[in-house]
Structure 1
């Protein structure tokens, strides 16, 4: 026997209510860990801008030890200086951005640091791909960019910029940053330097050999001359004695 229409309607309402409650709880659940960036002057071509980065901890047993940030086009590593960071952390420029690292933070503590940027590029938004390193070796990559209207699972921190001021202009490129003494690696000779050094060494060796050969030649020549002189003297003495005896 079929159920009463009112019973079926009540069941549908109950199921709909359960689905709505589930959706509400899902929305109310805390968001997954992520990395963010903010600016005190979020405007294209703004100068001397302070950027604040926050990486949320997602490990209950290990703390952050390093942040690797890839700078967007228009910001050179030499344009960046460290403003604030966890105690003992230092910034080191890389070929495409910078690293800020130091003693491990406590597990569950977010990593926050600030940098000073010489000038922001003339763009609507800029992304800072970030790689987080934990004390246990775990690596979390926040480097994905939106594609096809879909939100990535590991989105890179993105900073939206206001339009540049009417009188704003790009500043001249900054000089290359000079690393501190503790950050200066032991120089590794390039292929050209190695070739030059090898060529120089070969030239020195050849010159030494030529000098030694020349010296040897002089010694041998002196000996030959001396033998000739001695031989001529002996021949003269023999001839003189023979002449004397005959007369």
Structure 2
């Protein structure tokens, strides 16, 4: 073997070793998010899901887990059961978030939720964004990879058994009815002003007195005339 061939062979071995080191360094970490169920069966009802998020940071603790729900489960179907001390639960249009004070650096974050009913499928993927106190975010959102250690970006997947005989899909959780807007109180009908009553209108049209007023005056005049005639006749007979 010539010196030139030997040099080329050594160079190739060095490049191969360097490439292997790069590939090993770039391989996904073993940490991940796992999900388990007390009833991992299609169409099972009131199922408790427990999630365990492993930490990948040696500088900050986990502070939040944002989950995108798979098709067939709506945020209104999910209720919070338990989690790290001080953590709270909130829903969004496509899922929910559990968050709170950072857990200890390097410690896992475990929480559980209850689902009203699981859909009739073979598996469920729960895409998860794992946040840390220093702003770091691990994205466990990849689909299609086998769940388990060694797949650093894969979403947690729950395998489901076949539905029990006779199991059916329950009606969707009723949406919360909107709060009725208080209607404005009915305004009392305005009192009719004197000028707007029928009698007042008639009085205006007849020069200030209504037809009833004129009738009363005419009656009084007739009574006075009759009294005067009676007195004149009586005096005439007396004479």
Of 84, 106, 116, the match for 2:114: 116
SS at 1:83 equivalent = strand
Where does residue 228 of structure 1 map in the other structure? Answer: 213
Question: Aligned residue for 2:87?
Answer: 89
**TM-score, normalising length: structure 1:** 0.57
Relative to structure 1, is the Cα distance of residues 230 and 177 closer, same or farther in structure 2, using a 3 angstrom cutoff?
A: closer
How far apart, CA to CA, are the structure 1 residues paired with 2:166 and 2:137? 39
| Structure 1 residue ranges without an equivalent (≥5) | 179-186
Q: In the TM superposition, what is the alpha-carbon distance from 1:85 to its structure 2 partner?
A: 1.0
Alignment of 1:1-247 (within 5 A): 3-27=3-27, 30=29, 35-56=33-54, 60=59, 64=63, 66-92=64-90, 96-101=94-99, 103-106=100-103, 108=105, 110-131=108-129, 142-143=140-141, 145-146=143-144, 155-161=154-160, 163-164=161-162, 167=165, 169-170=167-168, 172-173=170-171, 176=174, 188-189=179-180, 197=183, 204-205=186-187, 208-209=189-190, 212-213=191-192, 217=197, 220=200, 224=209, 228=213, 232=217, 236=221
Q: Give me the whole-angstrom Cα distance separating, in 2, the residues matched to 1:232 and 1:47.
A: 90
Aligned residues: 215
CA distance in 1, matches of 2:135, 2:218: 91
Shift of 1:10: 2.7
Q: Which runs of 5+ in 2 are unaligned?
A: 146-150, 233-239
Higher Rg of the two aligned structures: 2
Q: Which is richer in helix? A: 1
Calculate the TM-score normalised by the size of structure 2.
Answer: 0.59
